[in-house]
Structure 1
Amino acid sequence: MKRNCSSAVIAATTAAGLALASPSALAEPATYVLDEEHFSMAFEIMHIGYAPVMGMFRDVEGQFEYDEETKELTSGTLTFKSKSVFTNHDKRDDHLRNEDFLNSGKFPDITFEVTGFETTGDNTGVVTGDLTLLGQTRPVDVDVILNKSAEYPIGHKEYTLGLTAETTLNRSDWGMTYGIENDLVGDEVRLRFGLEAIRESGWF
């Protein structure tokens, strides 16, 4: 009877240990790195009131720490190279890179640093962060949708998050005022992101 009792105690202890060691119990933030081959960021700004001009930044990198079990985003950074701006018009792109707009020679990087995150639904949330542009830093709220999280079916085969995000801001808040007074270029800028982020190997 003692042997059976001891076996039962060991079995129970083992089961409890396994339960405590389950993925949900050990959940912690994982590092996700931006897949630069599957990232799109479009901006839209009105031109003389006629129609919006649309463009993008083609050079971006970033990563973030996210706990999918608890839906906690603990940190993250995106860096855009201002010189990589693209609107499918060479002369306009050169103008966007000069002192009237992005001043790429003096400010090569545009950065977004995560400062907070609030869950708003099963797969939605609001990311709060500091956007640094033209040497000035201002807070920005970004609406985020988690579209999918799973092992990638092709290529790298790593666990991947797929996200959509968008926000609207006024460029004048960062001191970019060219063309606003005479209504040549709008102040409001609409931003939309589509991205895939790969969980770093070695995370368990």
Structure 2
Amino acid sequence: MRTILSAAALAATMVLATPTAVAEPETYVIDDEHFSMSFEVSHIGYAPVMGMFREVEGKFQYDEETKQLTSGTLTFKSKSVFTNHNKRDDHLRKDDFLNSSEFPDITFEVTDFETTGNNTGIVTGDLTLLGKTRPVDVDVTLNKSAEYPIGHEDYTLGMTAETTIKRSDWGMTYGLDEDLVGDEVRLRFGLEAVRESGWL
């Protein structure tokens, strides 16, 4: 009897001594039906022109327990630019701006992440535009993470983010000398991303 109790005690000790499983990053896929990306740039100093890209895809890896974003990629189709003005949109797709025929994709590749608060952080990534790649910092806020209440009902993260870039850093200089088009471009994002294990 004593031998049995000793064996049981040893087994219990081994279980208690086993390290707790470490959480790992999970993959989230951006829901393109719930993704918004807007840009804003000054027009001759009078007012900002606002626009968006209608086609985007991407995924990222995020560990909710440690609040670490470990990797991710966003791809925008440059030809999908939209400012609610056909003539202007056609111009934006040409060589003066996005040169969509030669550079159909605009990509953002995550390279680093820094937590700044309970639900905020700074994502650093490489933005490739017009064939040039430069680092960009993006302020990110995690709005909500939970099982989705309608539709697919899978675990979903909701985020907002924003940053400001200078388009001339990527060689887009049309209208700068005459101050027709501003150099600074404000970018804002709102997105929902679904945990891959549940969605796919």
- Equivalent in 75, 79, 85 of residue 83 of structure 1: 79
- Does residue 5 of the first structure (1) align with residue 6 of the second (2)? yes
Q: Equivalent residue for 1:34?
A: 30
In the alignment, the residues of structure 1 paired with residue 183 and residue 112 of structure 2 have an alpha-carbon distance, to the nearest angstrom, of 26
In the alignment, the residues of structure 2 paired with residue 148 and residue 183 of structure 1 have an alpha-carbon distance, to the nearest angstrom, of 41
Secondary structure in structure 1 of the residue aligned to 2:197:
coil
Within-5 A mapping of 1:115-194 = 115-194=111-190
| Aligned partners of 2:154 and 2:198 also within 8 Å | no
> Match for 1:149: what amino acid?
S
In the alignment, the residues of structure 1 paired with residue 135 and residue 55 of structure 2 have an alpha-carbon distance, to the nearest angstrom, of 23
- Unmatched 5+ residue regions in structure 1? none
Within-5 A mapping of 1:16-95 = 16-17=17-18, 20-21=19-20, 25-95=21-91
In the alignment, the residues of structure 1 paired with residue 89 and residue 4 of structure 2 have an alpha-carbon distance, to the nearest angstrom, of 80
In the alignment, the residues of structure 1 paired with residue 181 and residue 8 of structure 2 have an alpha-carbon distance, to the nearest angstrom, of 77
Secondary structure in structure 1 of the residue aligned to 2:98:
coil
| Aligned partners of 2:160 and 2:188 also within 8 Å | yes
Tell me how large the CA RMSD over aligned residues is.
1.4
In the alignment, the residues of structure 2 paired with residue 7 and residue 131 of structure 1 have an alpha-carbon distance, to the nearest angstrom, of 58
In the alignment, the residues of structure 2 paired with residue 196 and residue 48 of structure 1 have an alpha-carbon distance, to the nearest angstrom, of 35
Secondary structure in structure 1 of the residue aligned to 2:65:
coil
TM-score relative to the length of structure 1: 0.93
In the alignment, the residues of structure 2 paired with residue 14 and residue 125 of structure 1 have an alpha-carbon distance, to the nearest angstrom, of 37
Write the deviation string for residues 147-166 of structure 1: whole angstroms up to 9, x where unpaired.
Answer: 11111111111111111000
Secondary structure in structure 2 of the residue aligned to 1:7:
helix
| Aligned partners of 2:155 and 2:198 also within 8 Å | no
In the alignment, the residues of structure 2 paired with residue 119 and residue 3 of structure 1 have an alpha-carbon distance, to the nearest angstrom, of 50
| Aligned partners of 2:78 and 2:100 also within 8 Å | yes
1:202 is displaced (CA, Å) by 6.2
1:180 is displaced (CA, Å) by 1.0
Secondary structure in structure 2 of the residue aligned to 1:137:
strand
In the alignment, the residues of structure 1 paired with residue 149 and residue 198 of structure 2 have an alpha-carbon distance, to the nearest angstrom, of 19
Q: Percent identity of the aligned residues?
A: 77
TM-score relative to the length of structure 2: 0.94
Give the paired residue count: 198
In the alignment, the residues of structure 1 paired with residue 12 and residue 55 of structure 2 have an alpha-carbon distance, to the nearest angstrom, of 55
- Equivalent in 90, 104, 109 of residue 105 of structure 2: 109
